Structure 1
Amino acid sequence: MKKWLKVGLVCLLAAILIIPLAACNNEEVQTIRVAEVTHSIFYAPQYVAIEKGFFEEEGLKIDLTLTPGGDKVMTALISDGADIGLVGSETSIYVAAQGSSDKVINFAQLTQTDGTFLVSREKIENFDWNQLKGVTFLGQRKGGMPQMVGEFVLKKHGIDPQADLDLIQNVDFANITSAFASGTGDFVQLFEPQASMMEKEGRGYIVASFGEESGHVPYTTFMAKESYMKENKEIIEKFTRAIYKAQKWVEKHNAKEIAEVLQPHFEDTDIEIIEMVVDRYKGQGSYATDPILDEKEWNNLQDIMDEAGELPKRIDHSSLVNTEIAEKILK
C-alpha cells in the first residue's frame, strides 16, 4: 500500500509541475511582420532584440522581411503587407503630405544619426571639406535621407552640391559600392560595412562622418499605421519594450560582445568588420539609447529636408510621432 502511495504522490507532483508548463506553452505567440528598408549593422539593436530573446519574452515572434526602398516599406504598410516598418522618418512625412486618411505614425526610434561616411579614393592625411570642390562625388539616391543629409553637410561647409562638384545621383543604392570600386567618382558616400571593407581592402579611405556633422535626427524609426496602433496597443507596447531592452543592452556592452550577437544575421561579413562597424557607430552615438523621438530631432529632420528642397510641407511632431508608449515604458 505504501508503495502505491509513493507512486501516487510522485505522479501527483509530476502533474503539478507539468500543468503550468503546458499552460505556458499554450500561450498564444503573436507574429509581427516587420519590413526593414535595408539589412544593416546600423540596426544592431533590432537584431540584438531577436537574438537575446527580448521579443520572445514579450510573447512576440518577428517575421522580418527585407523591403528595399522607403517607398516600398510604405506600400507594404499601407496595403497591410506588413504590420511595422523600419525606415527613415521622412517617409511618414511624404505619406501624410499626400493626404493619407490613415497616417503612418513613428513610435520607436532606433538610430539617431546619419549612418553614412565620406570615403576618398586616395588616402588623405588632413582632410578638409573644401577639398571636395571640383571633384566627382558619388552620392546617394535623390530624395532619400542619406542624400539629403549629404547635401545638408556640404552646404554647412560652404559647398554648393550642384555648382561646386560633379554630383552623381543616378546609381541604385545596391550598386553604389561596386560603381566606386570600378572607378566612378573621387569620393563616395557609403554606409557600413561597405565603407570599412573598402578601407580594409585599400580601395578607399574614410575621411569624415556625415552622422557626426549633421547632428541628431530620427534617422530610422519603427512605424505603423494609426489604425493598426489603435487596434493593437498591447502589441505595440510589447514591441517597444523589447526594443528598449535591446537598446540598453547595446549601450552597456562593448563592440566585440555586440558583434558576436549580430554574427548570425551577417554571416558573410567577417566578425572583425562587424566589430569595427559597431565600434564606429557606438562611438558617434548612432544607436538611440531609448525609443523616444523628441521634437528637437523631428524639427532637425525637417530642416534637412527643407534645405534639400524635398520637404513637401512642415508637419507638427504631435501629428506623426507617438511618444506616449515609449515614455510609459521608460517609467
Structure 2
Amino acid sequence: MLSFTLMLFILASCSGVKTEKVRLAEVTRSVFYTPLYIAISEGFFKEEGLDVELKTTWGGDKTMTALLSNGADIALVGSETSIYVNAQGASDPAVNFAQLTQTDGTFLVARKKADNFSWKELKGKTFLGQRKGGMPQMAGEFVLKQKGIDPKHDIDLIQTIDFANIPNSFASGTGDYVQLFEPQASIFEKEGIGRIVASFGKESGRIPYTTFMAKQSYLKKNEKTAEKFTRAIYKAQQWVGSHSSKEAAQSIQDQFFKDTEPSILESSIERYKQQKSFAHDPILDEMEWNQLQTIMDEAGELPKRTSHHELVNTKIAEKVTKNH
C-alpha cells in the first residue's frame, strides 16, 4: 500500500507543469498597471507556466539599470527609455514587445478648489512636475503647450524632486499644482490636500506610455517565454475589459494595494477605464510610436528619430492576439 501511494506521488510530481521564473521590474506601483496585477492575481501567468517575480524599482533610470545589468529579465517602463538607451549606442538595445497602457496616466491636482477650472489659471503658479525627460513630464509639457502655456516661462516648474517623493513634497506645501498618478490623486482629494481638476491622459491622446521591454538578446533566446508572458497580459487585458472596476479592485486589493481604501481603488480603476488608459491588446503600433517621438521632440528630449521596427517587436503580440 505504501509503495502504491509513493508511486502515485511520483507520477503526480512528474506530470506537473514545470514553471519558469521571470524577473519583472516595474517602474512604480500604480493602479495604472491594473492589467499586470490582474495577470498575477487571476493566475494567467501561472496558466502559461511562468513564475513572475515582481519588484518595484521606483523610477525609469533605476528600472532600466536593472534591465541592462541583468537584474531583471523584463521591465515595465515608459517606451522613451528604450530610445534613450539606443541613442547611447547600446550594443544590446531594449526592445518594446508588449504594450500595457496607451495614454498618459497622470492627473492635474490643484491645491485650491476650482469650480470652473481653466488651464490659464496655471500661469504664474508653481507646478510640481515629474522628472525631466520622463514620459509624465514630457506628456505634461505637451498638453500645457496645447493649452497655450509655455512651461519654461509661464509657470515656475519644479523638476528636481525624485518620483517617489513628489506626493510628500506637495502634501508638505510645495507647489500650487502637481502632476500625480492614481490612486494618489484620489487619496489627496479625500484628505483635502488637493483637487483633481484635469486629466493629462484625456488631453495628450494615444501613446505607448508604458510597455514591457527586454534586451534584444533576451528576446532572441527566450522568444517562447516572451510569448507566454504576452499571452498572459493579453488575457488580463481582456479580463479587465469584461469585468467591472469593483471586481478588478477586489482581485488586486490584498496583494498589491492593501493600504488603499477599496472605494478609492475602485474609483481609480474606473477613471482609467473611462479614459481608455488600459491598452486593449499588447500591440504597439507605428502611429502611437510616432506620436511618442513627437511629444519627446516637443519637449526637446528626442535624441534622434528611431524607426518603429528598430525598437519595437510586434511579432509576438500579433501572434498572441491572432491565436487567442
Normalising by structure 2, report the TM-score: 0.95
- Aligned partner of 1:113 in structure 2 is 103
Query: 2:269 maps to what in 1?
Result: 278
- Mapped to 2, the partners of 1:103 and 1:184 lie a distance apart of 38
* Aligned mates of 2:105, 2:123 — CA distance in 1: 23
Write the letter of the residue equivalent to 2:293: Q
Q: CA deviation at 1:190?
A: 0.9
Provide the residue aligned with 2:65 in structure 1: 75
Q: Tell me the CA shift for residue 16 of structure 1.
A: 9.9
Which AA in structure 2 matches 1:299? N
- Cα displacement (A) at 1:20: 5.8
Aligned partner of residue 43 in structure 1, secondary structure? helix
- Counterpart-to-counterpart distance in 1, 2:167 and 2:6: 60
Tell me which moved more, 88-97 or 267-276: 267-276
Alpha-carbon distance between aligned partners in 2 of 1:181 and 1:87, rounded to the nearest angstrom: 26
Counterparts of residues 307-318 of structure 1 (less than 5 Å) = 307-318=298-309
Residues 92 and 217 in structure 2, CA contact (< 8 A), matched pair in contact too: yes
Tell me the CA shift for residue 75 of structure 1.
Answer: 1.5
1:232-251 paired onto structure 2 within 5 Å: 232-251=222-241
Describe how 1:153-302 pairs up with structure 2 within 5 A: 153-264=143-254, 265-302=256-293
Q: 2:132 aligns with which of 138, 142, 146?
A: 142
Partners of 1:66 and 1:204 lie apart in 2 by 26
**Aligned residue pair count:** 319
Work out the CA distance in 1 between the residues paired with 2:62 and 2:6. 51
Task: Give the letter aligned to residue 273 of structure 1.
Answer: I
What amino acid maps onto 2:156 in structure 1?
Answer: D
CA contact (8 A) 2:142 2:295 kept: yes
Q: Unaligned regions of 5+ residues in structure 2, if any?
A: none
Unmatched tracts of structure 1, length 5 or more = 1-6
Question: Structure 1, residues 14-52: CA drift from partner, whole Å, max 9, x if none?
Answer: 899767633322x32100000111111111111100111
Q: For residue 29 of structure 1, what is the aligned residue in structure 2?
A: 19
The residue aligned with 1:124 is: 114
> What is the aligned partner in structure 1 of residue 313 from structure 2?
322
Taking only the aligned residue pairs, the percentage that are identical comes to: 66
Q: Distance in 2 between matches of 1:155 and 1:143?
A: 16
Q: 1:88 is aligned with what amino acid?
A: G
Say which SS state the counterpart of residue 198 (structure 2) adopts.
strand
Structure 1 vs Structure 2 CA RMSD: 1.5
CA distance in 2, matches of 1:20, 1:257: 38
Name the TM-score, length of structure 1 as normaliser: 0.93
User: Aligned with 2:54: secondary structure?
Assistant: strand
| Separation (CA, whole Å) in 1 of partners of 2:76 and 2:148 | 33
State the partner residue of 1:4: none
In 2, distance between residues paired with 1:17 and 1:323? 44
- CA displacement at 1:202 relative to structure 2: 1.6
What is the letter of the counterpart of residue 301 of structure 2? E
Alignment deviations for residues 38-74 of structure 1 (CA, whole Å, 9 cap, x no partner):
1111111111001111000110001111112212221
Report the secondary structure of 1:213's partner residue.
helix
Alignment partners' CA distance in 1, 2:214 and 2:27: 14
* Structure 2 Cα separation of the partners of residues 199 and 293 of structure 1: 33
Q: Are 2:100 and 1:100 aligned? A: no
